[in-house]
Structure 1
Amino acid sequence: MCGIRIRLGLLGADDSLPIIQAVVEEYKELVCFPVVYWDERDILDLMRPLAAQVDMWLFSGQVPYSIAKQSGEAGVPLFYVPHTGASLYRTLLQAHYTKQIPVCKLSFDTYEHGEVERLLEEAGIHEPVLYIKHYEGGISAQELARYHYDLWKQGKTKAAVTCLRTAHLEMEKIGMPVYRVLPARSAVEAIVQTIIRTGEMLRVQDAQIAVQMIEVDSMTATSPETFSSDEIYKMELKTTEKLLQYTKKVQGSLKSVGPGRYVIFTTRGALKEMTAGYKTIPTSREMTHLYEEVVACGIGIGRTAYEAEIQAGRAFLHAKHYGRGAWMVAFDDGTIAGPLGKEEQIHYSIGNEELRQLAEHTNLSTVTLGKLQAILRRRGTNEMEAHELASDLQILPRSARRILKELEAAGLAEAIGETSPYPRGRPRKVYRIFL
């Protein structure tokens, strides 16, 4: 993060965003960038233009938060304002006391059943809660609206209570009685305090040591006619000089660890800034001259210098797998991201306990399973065929087929059909994967 203040992206519905923004603007530690959304499908497109300008995101509810989190695109801390009991009090006052609608004739969403019952007990309302649509993560406005509408149409309810603005608008459109739960000021203040504490922690993290491991090939910069040992030695010196200039740019120190391999010790914050939050290859003048010579680069983030160096080596090996010139990052939470600078990047886990357990039941590594999990999340579907998997993993189709067969044998995938991309070609099996 740059400066003392936290640049906070605010993304929410038109009616909840002003409430959140009013609280955020009272804190001098925060500078906010408000964005209104009207359709969940637009959330990622609305976030992308601000990707380089914000240090964190705060969402008005768990649905937009879940969409952003599952995409893996943000690369910065994400938060949302939970709909607490205080949020529901005002809505119940309007529906139950003002409009005299029995609680048993109301349908709710988002909240857990026990949470609503406790709130009613505190409010002195002794009526059963019959209809609640609780969900984890994201959900479409249409699905929520359909749940409430079906109950209302069947005469089981007289009105709906929803936490999702887009579902609220859907129900209003069809003329159904609906009440909207807005965020409570106390809930916003609580999450803002968490954001500020997170900002303080990240500033400490930015000062931690990070390690960059690079392999270069000086021969790339030589002409085909220049093969004398003296000329090659001169090229290696020039390459080292370029690396020293880049090292100075990131305020680090350079160490040679073998022929053509170097390690740069710098800070987490410097590398984060140089790579735009671990998304791109550094664009500094010193690094530009080295692009053609870089064979692979791994960036390691760890809690100690030793751990960061181990992580850098791990990222370096993954970069070599992706091909010449690839840059990868290994984080201290057991995840790997990259290749940096590429349009199609994946962020996958290699230290996940669940993946380790799955790996024990197959002949696949946690790395392969982590990559597959990230690919499915990015594609937004759990159905694919071998050629698609091969393209995403940058492996041969026969290797992709072997992976799918391993998953099928372990009960983690099933063949659900075939597709024929070419009129005369062999049909390709389509698999549904359960990760």
Structure 2
Amino acid sequence: MRRIGVLTAFHSQTYIEEAVNELDHIEFIYLPYERPSQIIELYKKYEYKVDGFLLSGIYTQSVLIQEFQQLRVPIVYLDVSEGDFYQELFNVARVSGLNLNRVIIDFLTIENNYMGLKQMVSKEERPYIYSDNFTDYLHETVYENLIHFHVSLWEKGEVDLSITRMSNVVDELKSRGINTLFLFPSEGSIQQSVQTLIHQIQEKKLQNNQTVVGHITGIQERTNQIRIELIKQFEQQYGYSFLIHNNYPEIEIITTFGELKQITNDFTSCSLSLFLTEQLQEELHVGWGTGKSLHQARLHAETASRQEMGSYILTESDLIGPMQGKPSTLNRDVPAGTQLINISEQSGLTILQLQKIQAALIRGGTDLISSEELAFYLSVTIRSANRILKKLEEANLANVSLKRQERLRGRPKKIYKINI
């Protein structure tokens, strides 16, 4: 089952619920906000708990992009098509006979090409707009600013209708006696956006599971054993899962694209390289390769490792590097601080154990896991994994979600849903 976070303005939630309530095999987690600053808080809180985010509009996406530049999970925002827009305008004009130049449409900007209106009507016939540039909306006081904009024009007697996409201003405008039309995507458009998001989630999961090969070579003449031991230490300490081959003088690591993105902080710095360099006090050649096959990934890794000293990634189209940013894995982007301390006290598990469990869930792309899978990711016995799951269950941080029968033989396996 896919888990989708719905980041929506508080007053838009009902519209989305009505459109998606019959969609199967999807769990929607509604995250309504009343202030723009809450968008950032909600995204940070649920980033690792959902497969993707459905956003109620381009405004929500713009706030996130301005804050994060790059988002870890797929997002799709709901948009009003030009067809829906003109149908509403036609209905309003047909019923009330309003002149367009006595209407406020507060979401027309250069970014959406003014929904084509500038090409269709003369300057004298155009509606009032809040701003030509969408960046003027990206402020904490945007709701107050929009309300003031609408009210001031109404008090001057210059408009007869206000059309808005900002649902959080609608009640205030109506309470002031302002004739307000809230425009929102149609039910069919919302459902299509959900399907687009599901497709993106599936593509990302396939990409994250793509095989990646790493080649590591040191400049000092020594056996690889100490280097391999340190790689294993790094692997266990930070919750990764490598296949390591000693191909002296090189060391080959096989991992996944998803893990590579975490190790390299989205291809900006290689924490494994920094860790080994610090521990070994030697410079290393580190090359990572991706490809459509294991053979191609190996060839790319070999080519990347032959570059100058440092860490490089060779994909099917790009050579990235040297990656010289600050280490990322040593401060992995998993929930920490007070939240983890509280969970640790509640469950009796160590913070390191909890971080490894979180990393396992992130790599698997789901909050469901069996004791066998947990044992593999944590490098512990199945009995130890069962004890860990039992502690989480007793602390109400996990519950048996379903039982899976393997080949119709033996006892069905318990699958736990984790909430940390």
Distance change >3 Å, CA 170–CA 333, structure 1 → 2: farther
* C-alpha distance in 2 between matches for 1:316 and 1:52: 34
For residue 310 of structure 2, the aligned residue among 293, 299, 317 is: 317
Separation in structure 1 between the aligned mates of residue 15 and residue 104 of structure 2, nearest angstrom: 25
| Aligned counterpart for 1:243 among listed residues 225, 231, 247 | 231
TM-score by length of 1: 0.54
Q: 2:62 is matched with which residue? A: 66
Q: What is the rounded CA distance, in whole Å, between the counterparts of 1:254 and 1:92 in structure 2?
A: 66
Distance 2:240 2:208 in 1: 16
Take 2:118 and 2:13, find their aligned partners in 1: how far apart are those partners? Answer: 28
Alignment of 1:106-121 (within 5 A): 106-111=103-108, 112=112, 115=115, 117=117
The alpha-carbon distance between structure 1 residues 332 and 11, as it changes in their structure 2 partners (threshold 3 A), is: farther
Residue in 2 that maps onto 1:385: none
* TM-score (ref. length: structure 2): 0.56
Structure 1 residue 50: Cα displacement: 0.9
User: Which residue of the partner structure matches residue 84 of structure 1?
Assistant: 81
Offset of 1:65 from its aligned partner? Answer: 0.6
Q: 1:21 to 1:253 in 2, by over 3 A?
A: farther
* Residue 45 in structure 1 maps to residue 47 in structure 2: no
What is the alpha-carbon distance in structure 1 between the residues aligned to residue 289 and residue 232 of structure 2? 21
Map Cα deviations across residues 166-220 of structure 1 (whole Å, 9 max, x no partner): 34456457654432212211221221222222233223313322244668899xx
Aligned CA-pair RMSD: 5.0
Maintained 8 Å contact 1:278/1:329: no
Cα offsets for 1:350-400 (capped at 9, x unmatched): xxxxxxxxxxxxxxxxxxxxxxxxxxxxxxxxxxxxxxxxxxxxxxxxxxx
Q: What is the alpha-carbon distance in structure 1 between the residues aligned to residue 178 and residue 319 of structure 2?
A: 48
Contact preservation (8 Å) 1:38, 1:166: yes
Does structure 1 residue 340 correspond to structure 2 residue 328? yes
- Alpha-carbon distance between aligned partners in 2 of 1:59 and 1:44, rounded to the nearest angstrom: 12
Structure-2 change in CA distance of 1:188 and 1:265 (3 Å): same
- CA distance in structure 1 between the aligned counterparts of 2:75 and 2:286, rounded to whole angstroms: 26
Is residue 33 of structure 1 aligned with residue 33 of structure 2?
A: no
Are 2:300 and 2:314, in contact at CA under 8 Å, matched by a contact in 1?
no
Partner of 1:75: 72
Q: Whole-Å Cα distance in 2 between the matches of residues 214 and 74 of structure 1?
A: 29
The 3 A distance-change label for structure 1 pair 200 and 24 is same
Residues 6/339 of structure 1: CA separation in 2 closer, same or farther (3 Å cut): farther
Residue 130 of structure 1 aligns to a residue whose secondary structure is: coil
Question: Do structure 1's residue 132 and structure 2's residue 129 form an aligned pair?
Answer: yes
Alpha-carbon distance between aligned partners in 2 of 1:171 and 1:84, rounded to the nearest angstrom: 24
Q: String of CA shifts for 1:274-300, please: whole Å, max 9, x gaps.
A: 8999999999xxx9x989737789785
- The share of aligned pairs that are identical, in percent, is 19
User: 1:10 Cα deviation (Å)?
Assistant: 1.0
Q: CA deviation at 1:60?
A: 0.3
Structure 2 spans left out of the alignment, 5+ residues: 334-420
In the aligned structure 2, how far is the partner of 1:316 from the partner of 1:25?
55
Q: Helix, strand or coil for the counterpart of 1:16?
A: helix
1:252 to 1:169, Cα distance in 2 relative to 1, 3 A = farther
- 1:433 corresponds to: none
- Whether the 8 Å contact between 1:302 and 1:332 is mirrored in structure 2 is no
Which residue of structure 1 lines up, in the alignment, with residue 358 of structure 2?
Answer: none
Residue pairs, 1:407-418, within 5 angstroms:
none
Q: Quote the Cα distance in structure 1 between the aligned partners of 2:248 and 2:178.
A: 70
Change in CA separation of 1:88 and 1:57 when aligned onto 2, cut-off 3 Å: same
Bigger drift between 24-33 and 334-343 goes to: 334-343
Letter in 2 for 1:200: Q
* 1:264 paired to 2:253: yes
Q: Please report how far the alpha carbon of residue 136 of structure 1 lies from its aligned counterpart in structure 2 after TM superposition.
A: 4.1
Change (3 A) 1:318 1:273: closer
Measured against aligned partners, the alpha-carbon deviations of 1:138-158 in whole angstroms (never above 9, x if no partner) come to 534244444434433433212
Aligned to 1:361: none
Q: Does 1:184 align with 2:160?
A: no
Map of 1:252 onto structure 2: 243
User: How far does residue 43 in structure 1 lie from its aligned partner after superposition?
Assistant: 0.9
Q: 1:341 to 1:243 in 2, by over 3 A?
A: closer
User: 1:277 and 1:28 mapped to 2: Cα distance?
Assistant: 33
Aligned mates of 2:183, 2:190 — CA distance in 1: 14
CA contact (8 A) 2:244 2:251 kept: no
Q: Aligned to 1:54, which of 50, 55, 70?
A: 50
Which one-letter code corresponds to 1:317 in the other structure? G
- Give the corresponding residue for 1:203: 205
Task: Find the residue that maps to 1:15 and give its secondary structure.
Answer: helix
Tell me the distance in 2 between the aligned counterparts of 1:118 and 1:30.
40
